[in-house]
Structure 1
Amino acid sequence: MVHYVVDPSRAAEVVIAQFAGVDQGIISCDRYSGYKRFARLNPGEKLAFCWAHQRRDFLDLANSYPQSAEWALQWVDRIGQLYHLNAVRLSAQTNSPERLSANLDLEQAVQQMASDCAAGVANHETFPPAAKVLQSMMVHWAGLIVFVACPWVDMDNNQAERSMRSPVVGRKNFYGSGSEGSAELAATMYSLFATMKLWGLNLRTWLTAYLQACADNGNAPPVAMDAFLPWQMDAKRLAQMRACHLQEAPNSS
């Protein structure tokens, strides 16, 4: 399920309110302070920080300080190697010798990177802006390596950021929403459409069936919502909702 939230504030209270009652799990996120505060208040939560953001720090360093470009790009290459090693691991069958070997290779690469990062920070000759990037990586290290022990966790939150692109571009193109109510409606519709897309449903097919069910129920939401929630659908219903032909998705109210 995809869930969009619109709020005039970026305060930590927004994150805390959205995850109220959740006391255990893993949040794939950037380094926004709101997530960090939530994790401090909820020790059962782990933050899986984004390697794409860490990579960007080294690229920014290379662009801002040409004298450090070669050094910074070596770290970029090492991050790329982590992605490669993780992809090799994930391509191997669980508990297979190949999987165990690939996991060991990844762990060794991560350990070596941690050691080199600490050495760079401890070296007083390290260029200060470069040391700052390494210090940031050390601060976020526990979150950066969550994916090692939890292979189902992505190394970055690129998918979430890509899903934000349309709302952000739209906000610029049509000047956002004219009222708080319309903004909340926009967030609801973004959540709905993104969830249907995630499940591979045909939006027109789904909307036609849902709106017809509302009409059949006296212009009110259908009583039986399970027929429209993809995680509650059986294989036949999913196939109907993924079809392009509207007649293949019979109404259900």
Structure 2
Amino acid sequence: MGDWMAGCCQLLEPLYNALKQKILASDYIQADESPIKVLDSDKKGSTHQGYQWVYHDPVQKLVLFNYRKGRGRNGPKELLAVYHGYLQCDGYTVYDKIGADPKITLAGCLVHARRKFHDAQDSDKKRAQTALALFRKIYLEERDVKEEAPDDFGKIKPLRDEKIRPLLAQIKKWIGTEQFKVLPKSLIGKAMAYFINQYPKLDAIFGDGRIELDNDLIENAIRPMAIGRKNYLFCGSHGAAQNAAMLYSFFGSCKMQDINPREWLDELLPGYQTKV
């Protein structure tokens, strides 16, 4: 079966490269990474911790998985070398290094910022819930904005500037009055510090109406792989991990386009063995 999959991926590689170029030609993408265990002949008796780096174009509804042996910046730096535009990501420091490239503008993720305050409720319920209430207002306003201007990105931007951006600034102002009252190493202190550190990237969201408030869409694209890890446990080699990345890219993009992946593959490779 492994040889069958490898042969299939060899035929599909030109299409994978075309998908990669199409996504990189966009000027707004989301990025995230997820671990995957891989058998390595140099590590007898244990598995290697590799990573699937994922790049998602929310506007064109396309996703690219790209396997790398590590979580360092070399992988995304190489893949994004020709990219110009917004890169939406979480607070992982590698993305800050990628964002040092003047061609790239980093946009943050409100869900990651909100999650820090959610996790701080047990240690400082009052302050955590004050922040969470403001985040809730942001998402309620975002829902109204999307209903008022569905897919009209030109209208979404000024509506967000009017209704949502001030709420984000309000969180920052509130933290400015409260941060000195809490321990920096407490959960609420860390949540506040994360928000302040990420604020320039969070504010960059309002630079373009296409940019999502968070990275939830790319996390949804990664979810099938997370489920798969519990079933197949590991990939048989680094090459197999990249083949998996290729198929996750195609099938994930099919799902976003409401296309049946099996029917798509049957049509793309007629006569190829599609039954094992």
- Normalising by structure 1, report the TM-score: 0.74
Aligned counterpart, 1:71: 127
In structure 1, C-alpha distance between the alignment counterparts of 2:170 and 2:213, rounded to whole Å = 18
SS of the aligned residue for 1:5 comes to strand
Return closer, same or farther for 1:6/1:33 CA change in 2, 3 Å cut-off: same
Aligned counterpart, 2:115: 56
Aligned counterpart, 2:11: none
Q: Name structure 2 gaps, 5 residues minimum.
A: 1-61
Residues 15-63 of structure 1: per-residue CA shift (max 9 Å, x gap): 10121111x21112111111111011x1231221111111110111113
Shift in Å, 1:102: 6.1
In structure 1, C-alpha distance between the alignment counterparts of 2:161 and 2:239, rounded to whole Å = 49
Return closer, same or farther for 1:99/1:28 CA change in 2, 3 Å cut-off: closer
Where in structure 2 are the equivalents of 1:97-112 lying within 5 Å? Answer: 103-112=161-170
Q: Is the 8 A contact 1:88 1:102 kept in 2?
A: no
Give yes or no for the alignment of 1:83 onto 2:139. Answer: yes
Shift in Å, 1:114: 2.1
Shift in Å, 1:201: 1.5
Aligned counterpart, 1:241: none
Aligned counterpart, 1:200: 258
Return closer, same or farther for 1:57/1:144 CA change in 2, 3 Å cut-off: same
Return closer, same or farther for 1:102/1:187 CA change in 2, 3 Å cut-off: closer
Q: Which structure dedicates a bigger proportion of its chain to strand?
A: 2
Shift in Å, 1:126: 2.8
In structure 2, C-alpha distance between the alignment counterparts of 1:132 and 1:181, rounded to whole Å = 39
Structure number with greater Rg is 1
Aligned counterpart, 1:27: 87
User: Identity of counterpart residues, as a percentage?
Assistant: 22
Give yes or no for the alignment of 1:3 onto 2:71. Answer: no
Residues 184-242 of structure 1: per-residue CA shift (max 9 Å, x gap): 11111111111111112122322221111xx4xxx7xxxxxxxxxxxxxxxxxxxxxxx
Aligned counterpart, 2:19: none
In structure 1, C-alpha distance between the alignment counterparts of 2:109 and 2:159, rounded to whole Å = 25
Aligned counterpart, 2:53: none
SS of the aligned residue for 1:152 comes to coil
Question: Aligned pairs, how many?
Answer: 206
- Normalising by structure 2, report the TM-score: 0.68
In structure 1, C-alpha distance between the alignment counterparts of 2:157 and 2:78, rounded to whole Å = 39
In structure 2, C-alpha distance between the alignment counterparts of 1:79 and 1:188, rounded to whole Å = 36
SS of the aligned residue for 2:214 comes to coil
Task: Compare relative contact order (CA 8 Å, sep 6+) and give the higher one, 1 or 2.
Answer: 2
Aligned counterpart, 1:176: 234
Q: Name structure 1 gaps, 5 residues minimum.
A: 220-253
